[in-house]
Structure 1
Amino acid sequence: MSASRLSLVLLATAALGACATVAPMAPAPSRASIAKTPTELWTPEVAPQPERIMLAVHAQGLSSTQADALAAFADDWRAGGRGPVTLQAPVGGPDPAMVSRSTEGVRALLASYGAQVHVSGYEAKGDPRAPLIVGRERYAVSLPTCGLEWGNISRSATNEVQSNFGCAVSANIAAQIANPGDLLGPAEITAIDAQRRGVVLDKYRKGEVTAAARDDQAKGTVSQVVK
């Protein structure tokens, strides 16, 4: 084989070898490199957490203790509730008349507190002590643990968010929020007061004052100085 032909074969072999070479995989991007601001780096994590209370079925309906428990349940729901309240009644367990009486008592009491109650049944499998199950879905937020590690804040060539910046702010906000579900999105808008809107529009068309009447509670005075 001539020298020129041998050189061509070697060049072709080298080219094929170069094509078969696999480029090394790039490292996965870090959270700091993805986040644009410290608050994006330390976003609180919110997860659903079901809440359930069990109520025994009584012949006389709801007891005073059960009514107090439902009142506390309704207060928690109004303070941080999202979605309807579920009420599951046992089927094939206690006396049907007793179950119906207790179910209606629970539903009416919760409805009086403004809760939207979804009633359904579950198989009690012949258990005469099967309870009524009242539940709702609440949300819990996990707080980040700050100060565990610090990066070198003098190295800023990549312009990344510093690893611990913003952690304390996000943790404080998450700990103070009344309803963690609000971190997932805004609450649903309630229905408008059409009657009040009609009154205001009527006064506006007549050129009258549309503001509500001013009283002492509308004043911002916190103290009075006696001269």
Structure 2
Amino acid sequence: MNPLLSPTLKCVRKLREASVVLGTFAMLGACQSQPSYVEHQSIADFDYRKRHPIVITEAPENFDIPVAGEMRNLNGSMKTAVAAFGKQADIDGNGFVEVLVPSGSGNEAAAKAISPQIRTALKKGGVAADHIVMRSYAVSDMGASAPVRLSFMRVKGIVRDCGNWPDAMISNHQNTDYHNFGCATQANLAAMVDNPTDLLRPRPFGPNDPARTNEILANNRSGDLTAGQYGAGVGTNVSSVAQN
């Protein structure tokens, strides 16, 4: 630096040097690669299993019994169904079954008439008498035929918020799944799984077949085939293209 320069010129030169340095940093920043669109998105935007997970929780298992206004007796098939529901409550639940009888509906008298038969069918299914809880629920429409609901709590897999459309399908320009995509599939899968722990971890191996094991070991010792008998080429045809 020239010592003969005035303080004003020295200040101007320093400002020019600083502007050059800042411009260099700005150019380097512009050269950096910008993150792609995929890096901005979450896994849930592309995987419906993450967006609509199957949640293992305690939820009610319900069975609604339709009751006609003139009904006074349960038929045989309905008694069998109620007994099977009671057996399921004993296996999958805690053994308690709640019976909800409508009150104020047009079929209130019929529902009360079949309630003792429902209790008998539940006891036949294995539910203890002191584990059957009788309750009533109010119905505002006096002309309605409300069902008798049987319910017990069990651990099951459920999917929440199906049918939710927060965004319009036509507004998606990123080619991602719409929000409700896959929700029904997940809900159906959760309903079909009998044991919800199968969704958490695989089941352990069961015992092997001793007779089959002895046969395999005997064939192995004698040098015979341990697999099923088959003939090479039987039932197959080689394409003429492969033969050339």
Q: Bigger radius of gyration, 1 or 2?
A: 2
TM above 0.5: no
Give the TM-score of the pair, scaled to structure 1: 0.41
Which structure is higher in RCO with an 8 Å CA cutoff and minimum separation 6? Answer: 1
- Higher-helix-fraction structure: 2
TM-score, with length taken from structure 2: 0.39
